[in-house]
Amino acid sequence: MDNITTFSQLYQMAQTHIEVFDLGRQFQHLDADDFYKIETGEIAYPFPYKDSAHIAILTWQPQYPEKHSIWLFKWGLDERNVVNIAEQQSCLERVVTSLMTKDDEERRRLLQDHPFHFKPNEIMQACFHAKASMILGQSVSKYYEATSKYFLTDQNENWQTIGVQGVGELVWRLTDADKKIVVSKFNQYAKPAQLCFLACLEHVNDDPQFSKQLINVVELDEFELFSHVIRAVSKTANNNKVKQWIHDLVNTHQDLHLECLLAIATRAYLGLDDDIVMINLFHKLAQNSNIDTIDIIAKDLARIEKLRALVVRALRVPMQ
């Protein structure tokens, strides 16, 4: 064990399957080779959020998937977005200790009772556990059937029967045919169901065609729903049509609600790789929020390497 300095090495030696995810801003999968380089400080962390890396590690023996483990670690990042190696090593030592103990209660304590543990919000938890269950070949939860019926059939009178976990499971399993049904029926759903669906979809949707359909289902003046639509399509914001839609929102809509501006700034940042758009975004934030909010957004976006220079240039332009 003395020569093991990374989780990647540890689980390779133990012949244990491992999948790594980011649970910070949005659900993201981390490539195994990239994770090794992240652990050793060779590359920057690709998904910084609030100056930290929010990492979920799912491990299991292929013959015993029901005996899987989930570790949640929050590691600090330096100004280059490189993880704090001392914190990574501390967490690694904790995992090694847990693997060596035979006390189930102590192992459970080691999983959660440490300063680097974090708890994702309810939506993120639902989406992560839904994905983990799929990877492990486990059955869906008791909420899935009612949720599926509500969103995909005509049996959508009682939205209270759906559960967040069921929605998380559904969004991962949507077929192209299901997506067409959702778009056609979206305005028939109760608003709480719409919001929950879009909130889960934010972490899953990487389908530009689905995004193109979703951007037309809600009117701009319904700002709460509209901001959720922005978030739901944000992973596809580098698609030309979706990006142009975001550009148009920022550049041409003078009365864009603060919730929508924040959704663009914090989630749809893939669509902000343009000087004029970035300048207009900060001008609108200046008109609708306060200096503290602008400061938080600027620091957050500047953490993203390809946006850093754009943010600096935008902040040099006098805000009207």
Residues 143 and 93 grouped into a single domain: no
Overall average pLDDT of the 210-237 stretch: 95
One domain for residues 224 and 298:
yes
Contacts of 104 (CB under 8 A, 6+ apart): none
Q: What pTM, to 2 d.p., does this model score? A: 0.94
In a domain, 320, yes or no: no
> Is 109 part of any domain?
yes
Output the pLDDT for position 250.
97
- Which residues does 30 contact at the CB level (< 8 Å), separation at least 6? 20, 21, 22, 38, 46, 55
Domain boundary among 91, 120, 149: 120
Which of 6-10, 23-27, 59-63, 95-99 holds the top average pLDDT? Answer: 23-27
Give residue 221's pLDDT band: very low, low, confident or very high (50, 70, 90): confident
Residue 292 lies in a domain: yes
Instruction: Please say which residue of 95, 120, 145 terminates a domain.
Output: 120
β partners of residue 83 = 77
> Which residue range is the domain that position 176 belongs to?
136-315
For the ranges 59-73, 190-204, 208-222, 251-265, the lowest mean pLDDT is seen at 59-73
How many domains in the chain? 2
* Shared domain check, 149 and 219: yes
pLDDT at 320: 63
pLDDT band at 235 (very low <50, low <70, confident <90, very high): very high
> Is residue 264 included in any domain, yes or no?
yes
Q: Band the pLDDT of 304: cuts 50, 70, 90.
A: very high
Percentage above 70 pLDDT, the chain = 98
Q: Is residue 77 part of a domain?
A: yes
Same domain, 93 and 151: no
Query: What is residue 64's predicted lDDT score, i.e. its pLDDT?
Result: 79
* CA 212/CA 61 separation, integer angstroms: 40
Mean pLDDT, rounded, for 285-314:
95
Per residue in 29-58, pLDDT tens?
999 999 999 999 999 999 999 999 999 999
Residues 59 and 167 in one domain: no
**pLDDT value of residue 110:** 80
Axis crossing angle, helix 122-136 with helix 191-201, rounded to the nearest 10: 60
Decide if 177 is inside a domain. yes
Mean local confidence (pLDDT), 153-165: 86
Domain boundary among 76, 93, 120: 120
Query: Is the pLDDT reported for residue 156 higher than 80?
Result: no
Q: Are residues 84 and 51 in the same domain?
A: yes
The predicted structure's pLDDT at residue 121: 97
Tell whether 82 and 150 lie within a shared domain.
no
Q: Are residues 154 and 272 in the same domain?
A: yes
Least confident of 61-75, 114-128, 206-220: 61-75
How would you list the strands of the sheet with 52-61, edge to edge? 27-30, 17-23, 52-61, 64-76
Shared domain check, 100 and 152? no
Average pLDDT in the chain: 93
How many other CB atoms sit within 10 Å of the CB of residue 208?
Answer: 18
Rounded to an integer, the average pLDDT of 95-124 is 87
User: Alpha-carbon distance 281 to 247, whole Å?
Assistant: 9
150 & 103 share domain: no
Does one domain contain both 188 and 93?
no
Q: Is the confidence at residue 2, as pLDDT, over 80?
A: no
> Average pLDDT for residues 9-34, to the nearest whole number?
93
Residue 182 pLDDT > 90: yes
Domain membership of residue 130 (yes or no) is no
Does a structural domain hold residue 128? no
- Which tokens hold the place of 3? 């020569």
pLDDT band at 133 (very low <50, low <70, confident <90, very high): very high
Is residue 112 domain-shared with residue 152, that is, in the same domain?
A: no
How far apart (Å, rounded) are the C-alpha atoms in residues 167 and 141?
10
